[in-house]
Structure 1
Amino acid sequence: MHSKSIKPKDSSLVSYYILCFLRVVLVFVPQVGYIHPDEFFQSLEVMAGDEYGLEVTRTWEFNRTFPIRSITIPYFGMKLPFSALRFVSMYSRYYFDVNLRGSYVTLVFPRLLMVLLSFVNDWSLRKICAAYGLQNQFRLLTLASSYVVLVYSTRTFTNSIEMAICSVLLYIVSDCMIHSNTVIYQREFLEEQYLKARNNIEKVKLFKLRMSLPSHSLNKCFLVATLCVAGVFNRPTFFLFGTPLVFHWLLRGMGTTMVSFTDFNIRMIALVLSAIPTLIFFIVVDSLYYGYLTPAELEHLDVGINNFVVTPLNFIRYNINPENTNQHGVHPYYLHLLVNIPILFGILGVIAVLSFAKMIYRFASNELANLPRAQSFVGLILSTIFFPILMLSTINHQEPRFLLPITLPLILLHAQKLQTGFCSSYPFKKRSWLKDLLYDYVLCSRASSRYLLQVWYLTNLALTLFYGFIHQGGVYQLAAHLSRQMDIRSSTTHIHLVTSHIYSMPQCFLDIPSTQTLLVNPENGQKYRRGKQFFLYEYGSMELPYLYHKLKLILDINEMKSISENQKYFLYLAIPSSLAEELNDVFHNRTTALIKHTQIAVFYPHLSLEAPPKLLGQHLCGINTDPDETQDTCPIYALDDERNPYSVTRILKEFSSLVHQLGLVLYRVDVRKRIK
């Protein structure tokens, strides 16, 4: 019987360790999926450009006149490791002829740092469960099997760093709460026994015991303050995630005879004072990086208020204006609660929303006895989940990744319901067949054992494949391909790349030296800058006829330069394969322009939601991405297909057509020679 009781725990832990190993392996595979441009352009693109002196795209957020992104955490968390990698790479290339500057290393190395940081969430979960006596095996398994951890937390998002900081702060606050409750209970017990003591010997003994109790009021104050400052500078929205945590840290023991409102004020003052050193550190580092403050000014103490920049304030000033956030997309207020939570957490997110709705119903029904206490651990977790969600919902721009920090508290509170069901008993007052179906297939433990866990694992597997490998998966492969081609091409040859219907391509993977770096000729001491070799034209989701005119214009300009300046060039176009046949039609219908496009490569898998694959009306048995391929190897109008649209042959051809649309095609665009 004892072996049976530990077997489920052991199997959960084995599965958890396998998933942890998979988390690391998926970094090295690598994941070519591309979730959002911010995973590159808010950290990797800037830091790789600074450390290696590369030609990169510095987004408006790092504008030196009005910077809204703190550079401190990326600098120490990524630039310094890149510096160490560059030092190692000198010896690896000299002794082993191994290059650590390729596009693969540039992609994988920062993600390796992030995957190490992601295990902070696992550690925090384990420590919280140990402190409160919670079963941790299944919660760890739920965390490790979530695609949020497998994909999002291993990417260089500021949201992933925010998630790790929130997890650590949640553990610290929850640990401080249980420590304070224990000390207060012991102190009250000893105080009661002291008053009941009949002689001085017992009173002295009880007094000594009471005085020997550890202090708790300012427990880990400096650590809490440091994490809060780091979280706000990493991403100012941390203020919304950290507020309920800090509030519960300040509120510990309130309402007892041992803790008064004076203690609350003392804690608040101590927290503010403890935050000052870290605050100064972040402000000084940011000010030095953005050029507001120079080492010479520090040395001579010639420093004024204008020498400092506070990036979180700039962030708030920018985002508080609805016109600015409208430029990034306007979303309805219910998007986080009803859409983004289910997208991130699947069936677990649905359970969390239903639980919140149930709690609101009890509050409206005046069933206050069934609600968790504000100072309880459950109250802490609930406020940590739903306070930031409700506050972020008031902002008109909403994305799923903004909610990453609620991952740990949500799993702590609701993961067990994947096993036990949403309800332990029939929740409705009156029975009906519809309510019985809802209870049997959604809410009860039987539903969990049959469906909920299966839905959880299948949805996370599918989303790991989608965001990890398919979504915009050709962009990195395109950059790696161009990087290899530019190593082969002459440095005097210009490369022009036009992209459409795909995300922005990070130029750090191309490993092109910066044209902004001032160099010195060792022979004559003359200063110079490198000439621009790579030109990128990103046209978003431009309609193909207009895209054709852009290509024609770029080609005409470069043809003139090739004649007048003898400048060699190559013009490339990268576009999803789902648009290949439409592009062929555009080129074919404009024969007078004398432009041709030749397929160079197709990168699979790649799915652009800006150009989703067409399920019907496409060439069966494959999209014709190569305009020079005129032979029809797939008789799409075969007699058997027309007579039987549900034949195995036709279904296979439809499937092949769909697969061929999940690619990114690279074309070379040239002037078509006239035929005499």
Structure 2
Amino acid sequence: MISRRKFNWIYVGLWTLRICFALLGTGYIHPDEHMQNGEVTSGDLMPYHTIRTWEWSTALPVRSIVPAFATTGIPLWFAKFFIEKHLTQGVHPILLFRLERSAFLVISGLIDYSLVRPFSNSIEAVLVALSLLFLRKISRVTMLHKSYYLHLLAITFVAGIFTRPTFLIFGAPIAYQVALVTLTHARTAIRWLRLVVPPLFTAVGVCAAFLVADTLYFRGTPNGLVVTPFNFLMYNFASQNLAEHGLHPRWLHVFVNLPMLFGPWVTWLVVRVIVDSAILSNERNGKSFEVDVLRSTIIQMIILSLTVLSLQPHQEPRFLVPLLLPIIVLVANTGRLAHVGKAFWVSCSIFNFVLAVLFGILHQGGVVPSLFHLHSLVADPSLGTRTNIIYWKTYMPPLHLLGVNDRDVVTGSVSFIDLAGASRDDFAASLDTGNYDRTFVVTPVAMRYTLPPTITSCMELNRTIFPHLDLDHISESMDIGVLDGLRLGVYTLSRNCIFV
């Protein structure tokens, strides 16, 4: 065991790293981390042009607006209020980015408070962590204080379901254990009902508030009730919808995503703990022994969530993020960590640091800085009045970080095209500069070498951004060398060139 003083120094060091990765790391794992939050709140609060993905369609919205506004909307509103009050210019995209990351940096501290030290920054993971905290409180405090934590748990459950309905999978074992614990302490059915019914009314009230907020946001009137969790489930129950996002083998969560999130060593420890618990349960069957509520709840949560989520053919690692804290708590409280050697800690540290650098800094790391750079160019009227921006072979850029006024897009002063992974022919067909004073192309430097001379001769390098790792085109990046292969290029197209 390490001393408290040494632990505090380690904790401060980890927080320092977390702050650096949050505020300085521009890499991102998936476009959804922008499109499901900051892109929406910025579009509503700022005059900037943004893109709303299918989740936010007014016809069938599957995301509640409340979690988004509660996390990034509030700090953006305060920034807009103070900046517009004292300055003439709007909120700069760099400040937007830092505010969004800072909001989730602060929220991640709730996981630390819940039980253990820092892990996921996702809202769902935070709410699962808080639910486990309330379960522990409920199992320990007196009857008088149980009601207080039951109300908090009710609020957390409703917020979790409206954040992502998959919260039900992670929360079901917690709800089951809470029911058992409260029934045991109440001793009679009447006392139990008196204890749990008021929190249920709290849950109903909070649910009604979410429904009203979403209905007013998407419909503009109280008519036509919007139930985003129901829409979410209906969308994901349709196999044709999931096929649009990619289909995966059913074993991907268990054999690939879980070890990738935690590392193979921690995953192996989890398996050992679950097996040991099953053996211990069989050996003590019918005997009186103290039940470890938290441990059994987490084991149930792991088994249930992996089973249910593996039934879905669309499987991404981020779907398992809420298991981060429960799994670490499970491993840390079994005593097995006391028997592992230095090799375990060194390998785990290296594994986590490598993945943090890979996804926090390198992976698509040039996209956000390229938007900041283009913002400075588009804001300079001396360079022209009509601007066309083309992104090719990158993740979807979050346009609120470009900081272009929506009015300029509507009038045609600024045009934006995201070609994603389009073919070279489609890319060439989009390079019509006749209607624009200037056209910028943003693409990995490696992809420029795949273009014919008729196109590359018209592409003048404006700036390269390092680092930018494009995992979808590793072979092309390796062909031109490590340095250029890890760069994103911002190019200016010469006017009157013929590209086809």
TM superposition score normalised by structure 2: 0.90
**Shift of residue 456, structure 1, vs aligned partner:** 1.0
Is the Cα contact below 8 Å between 1:576 and 1:611 reproduced in 2? no
Alignment of 1:194-343 (within 5 A): 214-215=143-144, 218=147, 220-252=149-181, 254=183, 259-260=187-188, 269-293=197-221, 306-343=223-260
Which one-letter code corresponds to 1:400 in the other structure? P
In the alignment, structure 2 segments of 5+ residues that lack a partner are: none
Q: Which runs of 5+ in 1 are unaligned?
A: 126-139, 154-159, 184-213, 295-305, 422-444, 517-528, 562-567, 624-656
Q: Does 1:580 align with 2:435?
A: no
Name the SS of the counterpart of 2:229 in structure 1: helix
In 1: Cα distance, 2:290 partner to 2:321 partner: 26
TM alignment of 1:599-618, pairs within 5 A: 599-614=461-476, 618=479
Tell me, yes or no, if structure 1 residue 463 matches structure 2 residue 355.
yes
Match of 1:174 in 2: 136
Conserved? CA contact 2:27–2:361, under 8 Å = yes
SS in 2 for 1:401: helix
1:234-293 Cα distance to aligned partner (Å, 9 max, x none)? 11111111111111111116568x625566666664443221111111111111111252
Using the TM superposition, give the Cα deviation of residue 530 of structure 1 relative to its aligned residue in structure 2, in angstroms.
5.2
Q: How does 1:391-540 map to 2 (within 5 A)?
A: 391-415=308-332, 420=337, 445=339, 448-490=340-382, 493-515=385-407, 531-540=411-420
| Aligned: 1:661 with 2:485 | yes
The CA deviation at 1:669 is 2.4
**1:54–1:513 contact (8 Å) kept in structure 2:** yes
Structure 1 residue aligned with 2:14: 19
Which amino acid in structure 2 is aligned with residue 573 of structure 1?
V
CA distance in 2, matches of 1:352, 1:398: 23
Q: Indicate how the Cα distance of structure 1 residues 235 and 543 shifts in structure 2: closer, same or farther if over 3 A, else same.
A: same
CA distance in 1, matches of 2:330, 2:270: 12
1:353 CA displacement: 4.3
Q: Secondary structure at the match of 1:457?
A: helix
Q: Is the alpha carbon distance of 1:377 and 1:673 closer, same or farther for their aligned partners in structure 2, counting shifts above 3 Å?
A: closer
Distance in structure 2 (CA, Å) of the matches to 1:254 and 1:171: 19
Q: Secondary structure at the match of 2:442?
A: strand
In 2, distance between residues paired with 1:481 and 1:594? Answer: 21
Query: Residue 263 of structure 2 aligns to a residue in which SS?
Result: helix
Q: Is 454-463 or 69-78 further displaced after alignment?
A: 69-78
2:116 paired with 1:116: no
- Is residue 45 of structure 1 aligned with residue 39 of structure 2? yes
C-alpha contact (below 8 Å) 2:448/2:456 kept by paired residues: no
Is the Cα contact below 8 Å between 1:34 and 1:468 reproduced in 2?
Answer: yes
How many residues were matched structurally? 497
Matched, 1:390 2:390: no
Q: 2:3 aligns with which of 4, 8, 32?
A: 8
The SS at the match of 2:450 is helix
Using the alignment, how far apart are the partners of 2:401 and 2:337 within structure 1? Answer: 47
Higher mean C-alpha displacement, 108-117 vs 85-94: 85-94
The whole-number CA distance in structure 1 between the counterparts of 2:336 and 2:341 is 6
User: Contact 2:465/2:487 (CA < 8 Å) preserved in 1?
Assistant: yes
Higher relative contact order (CA 8 A, sep 6+): 2
Percent identity, aligned pairs only?
25
TM-fit CA distance, 1:345: 1.2
Is the 8 Å Cα contact of residues 348 and 418 (structure 1) preserved in structure 2?
no
Work out whether residues 419 and 453 of structure 1, in 8 Å CA contact, stay in contact via their aligned partners in 2.
Answer: no
Equivalent residues of 1:162, 1:235 under 8 A apart: yes
- Cα distance, 1:596 vs structure 2: 2.1
Q: Is the 8 A contact 1:72 1:286 kept in 2?
A: yes
Q: Distance in 1 between matches of 2:157 and 2:196?
A: 13
| Aligned mate of 2:125, from 163, 176, 190 | 163
**Residues 578 and 613 of structure 1 are in contact (CA less than 8 Å); yes or no, is this contact kept in structure 2?**
no
1:472, 1:502 within 8 Å by CA — same for their partners in 2? Answer: yes
Write the deviation string for residues 585-641 of structure 1: whole angstroms up to 9, x where unpaired: xx22xx4x897222222111001122124586x3xxxx3xxxxxxxxxxxxxxxxxx
Q: Contact 2:134 / 2:150 at 8 angstroms: preserved in 1?
A: no
SS of equivalent residue, structure 2 residue 439: strand
Residue 194 of structure 1 corresponds to none
**1:90–1:270 CA distance, 2 compared to 1 (3 A):** closer
One-letter amino acid of the counterpart of residue 254, structure 2? L
Contact 2:107 2:126 in 1 (8 A): yes
Alpha-carbon offset, residue 668 of structure 1: 2.1
Contact 2:169 2:301 in 1 (8 A): no
CA distance in 1, matches of 2:424, 2:8: 53
- Could you say what secondary structure the match of 2:393 adopts? coil
What TM-score do you get using the length of structure 1 for normalisation?
0.68
Instruction: Find the aligned partners of 1:579 and 1:307 in 2 and give their Cα distance.
Output: 48
- 2:7 is matched by which residue type in structure 1? S
Q: What amino acid does structure 2 have at the position aligned with 1:571?
A: T
Q: 1:594 to 1:575 in 2, by over 3 A?
A: closer
Give the residue type in structure 2 aligned to 1:107. Answer: F
What's the CA shift for 1:108? Answer: 0.5
The structural deviation recorded for 1:400 is 1.2
Change (3 A) 1:578 1:411: same
Question: CA–CA distance in 1 between the matches of 2:381 and 2:286?
Answer: 71
Contact 1:222/1:271, CA 8 A, preserved across alignment: yes
2:92 is equivalent to residue 77 of structure 1: no
Question: What per-residue deviation string (whole Å, max 9, x for no partner) do you get for residues 292-345 of structure 1?
Answer: 526xxxxxxxxxxx4321111111111111211121111122211221111111
Q: How many Å apart are 1:672 and its aligned residue?
A: 6.3
Q: Contact (CA 8 Å) 1:45, 1:57: kept in 2 or not?
A: yes
Q: Single out whichever of 597-606 and 533-542 deviates more from structure 2.
A: 533-542
Question: For the Cα contact (< 8 Å) 1:46–1:56, is it kept in 2?
Answer: yes
1:547 is the counterpart of 2:427: yes
* Residue identity opposite 1:511 in structure 2: G
Measured in 2, the distance between the counterparts of 1:332 and 1:596 equals: 44
Quick one: distance in 2 between partners of 1:100 and 1:23? 28
For the pair shown, which has the larger CA radius of gyration, 1 or 2?
Answer: 1
Matched-pair contact (CA < 8 Å) for 1:362–1:370: no
